[in-house]
Structure 1
Amino acid sequence: MNIEKLRFPIGPFHFNPDVTTTEFENWKMTIKNFPQKIKEVVATLSTEELQWRYRPEGWKIKQVVHHCADSHMNALIRVKLTLTEESPTIRPYEEQLWAELEDGLSDDLGASIQILEGVHHRWSTVIDSLQPKDWEKMYFHPASQKLFTLKEMLGLYAWHCEHHLAHIYQALHYKGEF
């Protein structure tokens, strides 16, 4: 099995600054619809299925869902910082370690689903209100030593949504056995 394909089932993220209007609108819809998609795919999963991993040494399905809640809370905050400050330096976090905390290991996905629903609703409200010039505002990510525009961030997080949905489907397809 190709471990890189298991790690990146939809491929790695690549940003094209000449994104089309259709792609851009699709990214916005991905952000808006992600909570419902996650909710649908995990709604009937058993406790055993929540333990399935999407690749060897990868996260369990439940950790993927909890990670998305953690990550997307941070994303909304980064958007708001970028809109209200001049090229802020955002704060990275140790996502691997967060996934090992008790809340990241919980079989109860209810709180993370609620977080995703609330965060994505607010996130969509903010991004729907932005003017074209707002999408060029930037933040600095110290871990990657790079400035990101809000436009690139939108693409990255739309990819992130699809990336982790693919991980869940992959874990279900392989039944966590590799």
Structure 2
Amino acid sequence: MDELRYPIGLFTYEGPYTPEQRTQLINNLALIPGQYQQAVEGLTEDLLEIPYREGGWTIRQVVHHVADSHMNGYIRTKLALTEANPTIKPYEEARWAELGDTFHTPIQESLNLLQHLHVRWANVFRSMQEADYQKTFFHPGSQQSVTLDHQLGNYDWHSRHHLAHIMSLRERMGW
């Protein structure tokens, strides 16, 4: 496995989670926006244009991607809570990372969005009952139904995965 591409490894669902594990995952979700803010602190516009690995996204693209992905994740969570196994709309994340807003929007906008979004998302997860974590949405890409328990673990991983991209680049570059 490519350490630069998957610095914390691939996601493995180890659920169903206990209530205590979920509390920790939700707390992680609530704290991650501040960790991204710290990770990019002091980086110039030129440094934001450096890819975290050869052939990978720039730091700018990573930050905007996390906001895009987590908005989709939040919506999917709410759909699963309000509909019976709804089919979600996949999106072409690599193509989204190439759209003009990625290159012309300051990353602080996505960092602010993440801060506010994660407050809402964490509050949704905190308000859920035990049975709600077994509610599902159908992902046509994988042809599988995904539980909200799995979704919580996956986005905890996703948050740390991309944060590790930024932090490992900073470490390698001595920033």
Deviations 1:47-83 (A, max 9, x none): 1211121111000011100001100010110011000
Question: Which residue of 5, 9, 12 corresponds with 2:10?
Answer: 12
Cα pair 2:17 2:149 within 8 Å, conserved: no
TM-aligned CA deviation for residue 134 of structure 1:
0.3
TM-score of the aligned structures, taking structure 1 as reference length: 0.92
Query: Which letter does structure 2 place at the counterpart of 1:23?
Result: Q
1:90 is matched with: 88
SS of 1:124's partner is helix
2:50 is matched with: 52
TM-score of the aligned structures, taking structure 2 as reference length: 0.94
* Structure 1 residues not aligned, in runs of 5+: none
TM-aligned CA deviation for residue 89 of structure 1:
0.5
Query: Which letter does structure 2 place at the counterpart of 1:106?
Result: H
1:127 is matched with: 125
2:165 is matched with: 167
Q: How many residues align?
A: 174
Question: Which residue of 145, 150, 153 corresponds with 2:148?
Answer: 150
Q: How many angstroms apart in 1 are the aligned matches of 2:30 and 2:101?
A: 24
* Structure 2 residues not aligned, in runs of 5+: none
% identity of equivalent residues: 43
SS of 2:145's partner is strand
Q: Which region of structure 1 is more displaced relative to structure 2, 167-176 or 148-157? A: 167-176
Q: Give the ranges of 4+ consecutive aligned residues of structure 1 lying more than 4 Å apart after TM superposition.
A: none
Cα pair 1:141 1:147 within 8 Å, conserved: yes
Question: Which residue of 70, 73, 81 corresponds with 1:72?
Answer: 70
Q: How many angstroms apart in 2 are the aligned matches of 1:140 and 1:29?
A: 26
- Give the 3 Å change call, closer, same or farther, for CA 146–107 of structure 1 in structure 2: same
TM-aligned CA deviation for residue 107 of structure 1:
6.3
Q: How many angstroms apart in 2 are the aligned matches of 1:28 and 1:71?
A: 17
Cα pair 2:8 2:161 within 8 Å, conserved: yes
